[in-house]
Amino acid sequence: MATATLPVALADATRDDASLRRFLHGLPGVDQVGVEQRAAGLGTRSIKKAAKLWAIDTAISMVDLTTLEGADTHGKVRALCAKARRPDPDRPDTPPVAAVCVYPDLAATAVEALAGTGIAVASVATAFPSGRSSREVKLADVRLAVTSGAAEVDMVIDRGAFLEGRYGQVFEEIQAVKAACGDAHLKVILETGELATYDNVRRASWLALLAGGDFIKTSTGKVSPAATLPVTHVMLQAVRDWYTATGELRGVKPAGGIRTTKDAIRYLVAVHEVAGEQWLTPTLFRFGASSLLNDLLLQRRTQLDGHYSGPDYLAVD
């Protein structure tokens, strides 16, 4: 079970099931009141106008523009990719988004539509969103995404196994998915709304990092609650502490429920205050969103024009 590239203390933690359990349950407990109060405090910070425009552009550049519906079509994905390339056609200085996220069978369509743009194609996998299938099926899902050209894979952990304390099973599955990804980056979805406690969020975050996840992601967007500031705070602490222990930078992606510019700015403030300024880049922080981009674009126009532009000025998903 051990991962050779880890420092000795962390490699020992993954030596076997008992060691992994001992390590995860030996992590410091999360002060629920403290983390919620700090998250609330960060959420009240105000920023100046010039900083707000920077924050809006930064948030746009961090969006994983997402469609994950049973009714998705090739045409819908192509339209989403067009929006990803030029979020506001009347404002060519608007930055493109970081990635477009789709189901594996539509990844090839997105790859074709985004060729040469530098915008990544992300694909969900591993029996998203429930994660309820055999490992063979989950890995086939990953292979479909990767062979279709996806540069990023968003997997879901087996929450049932995690909640029953079968940490070794979850660890080995993440490792197997990471191997199947090849050169593609792996985002590990914890589905924090089903983990019940902040302590479990911390344990799941460390488990995913130990197993090789490049990003830890809050949610599928299909379960409520999805992303919250306190949960994201705990996950940012995990990647910060991982960096301190290993020197490796890993990313965080809150997803689901982030709909307004005000929400996005609160998350950026949390990133800066909890993890640090070097995480304020799309390589280390993303927003999983669909409707958020429209509000960011409207608020960007307001900042530049000095008056509010209604949603009719922009194509709304």
Q: Which residues are catalytic?
A: 154, 217, 253
Q: CA of 125: how far to CAs of 75, 187, 220, in Å?
A: 21, 10, 11
- Residue by residue, DSSP assigns the chain as ---TTS-HHHHHHTSSHHHHHHHHHTSPPP-HHHHHHHHHHHTT----HHHHHHHHHHHHHTEEEE---TT--HHHHHHHHHHHH-SSTT-TTSPPPSEEEE-GGGHHHHHHHTTTS--EEEEE-SSTTTT-S-HHHHHHHHHHHHHTT-SEEEEE--HHHHHTT-HHHHHHHHHHHHHHHTTSEEEEE--GGGT-SHHHHHHHHHHHHHHT-SEEE---SSSSS---HHHHHHHHHHHHHHHHHHS---EEE-BSS--SHHHHHHHHHHIIIII-GGG-STTTB-EEESSHHHHHHHHHHHHHHSSPPPGGGS---
